[in-house]
Amino acid sequence: MMNLKPPKSQNDSASDNGSVNKITDKQKINTLRKAVIDLREEKSQLIKQIEELNSKKQLTNKREGRYRRETQYYDERFIALNNYEFIQFNAIFSFNRTYKQQELDQIIANYEARFSILQTAYKEMERDIKNIEISNQKLVKDMEEKTTLNNQLKKNIEDIERDLYNKIKDLQAEKMEIQSKFKIIDKEMQQKDEELTVLHKGLDDTRFIINQLQGELEETRGKFMQYKLILYNQFLDIDCLFILRKNLFNDYIFELETAAQIFQYKASDISDLKIKDETSFYLSVKSRSKEEIFIIMPNQDLKKICKSIKNFLLKAQQYQINQQHSQVQSPKNNDLLGGLMSIFRSTQQKNGSNKNSDAKQK
């Protein structure tokens, strides 16, 4: 059994991406936390400064009360003084009072300006803290979604590994089945080879028998001659031997044998036979455009020759009719001898057609 493991490159890349995302998220969170802490420290410092300003304001108010009491004291004291001294003192005191009042107003204005600046900074700081908290929540949400997605990917990878493992098991079973089929096919091929060897041996024996039959055919070829008539072919303008015969395959054939070549015609190719005059007759052959004219030799009977040709044609026609009738009633014999005879017949017909084509060319 195979232990299926996920590809290292994909797992490593996925783990690296996950670890990098986790590190960056942690860094962002730590940075935000640090920024929040810094803002809180600034907030505490600003609160301290505000408290200091309030204490200073209270101190200023106390001083102002003391100044007022002192002023009241000086007023009461000046009443008892002379008018001149009172006027001088009042002028000096009013000058000092105005100066002190201006100085106090300036300090209060400065503190109020600083206080408004601190309030604005405090509001901005609160807004920044709120934005940071929102971004922190988004980061936490993104981190949760990525964690969920990572878990889903792990589950999908496990499902894929399980499916691959099952498919591999099925493929192994199919492989074993195919191997067994291959073994069966090899055995069948060996049997076929043995049968083919036997058939080759039988074919060799059959060829030997064919050679024997061909030899016997050549020996018995001249035994079926019926007529040999020495005639003169006017169309060929040459002496010829006119032969009417029936071969081993029951084919009725006309042969014209000259000193140079033999011409063969099937009896079915003769379409007409007529006597031209007392010493000649002609045959109409389907394969030739002109009639074959034959002149008999001396000491030959023209009527007897034409009668023999006519009887030969009638026999051929009757045999062809009987052969067609027998083929319709009974199927053709497919044994070895019938096959050999058909081979010989086709060979003989091919030779006859070749001879006819040669005659046409001449």
Q: Which residues pair with 282 in a beta bridge?
A: 274, 293
Query: DSSP alpha helices (H): ranges in the chain?
Result: 8-80, 83-220, 302-329, 336-361
For 247, phi then psi, to 5°, come to: -85, -170
* Whole-angstrom distance, CA of residue 240 vs CA of residue 230: 6
Check: CB of residue 25 under 8 Å from CB of residue 136: no
User: What count of residues does the chain have?
Assistant: 362
SS3 41: helix
Residues of the chain with pLDDT under 70: 1-23, 75, 77-90, 93, 215-238, 290, 327-362
pTM of the model: 0.29
Give the pLDDT confidence score for residue 2 in this predicted structure: 41
Give the pLDDT confidence score for residue 356 in this predicted structure: 47
Q: Which residues pair with 240 in a beta bridge?
A: 231
Structure tokens belonging to residue 159: 């499902």
CA–centroid distance for 150 within its chain: 33
* Whole-angstrom distance, CA of residue 214 vs CA of residue 211: 5
SS3 1: coil
**Within a 10 A sphere around the Cβ of 176, how many other Cβ atoms?**
10
What is the DSSP-derived secondary structure letter of residue 333? P
Check: CB of residue 157 under 8 Å from CB of residue 6: yes
Give the pLDDT confidence score for residue 59 in this predicted structure: 82
Task: Return the axis-axis angle of helices 83-220 and 8-80, rounded to nearest 10°.
Answer: 170
Structure tokens belonging to residue 1: 């059994």
Q: Which amino acid is at 259?
A: A
Q: Is 237 left (phi over 0), alpha (psi -120 to 50) or beta?
A: left
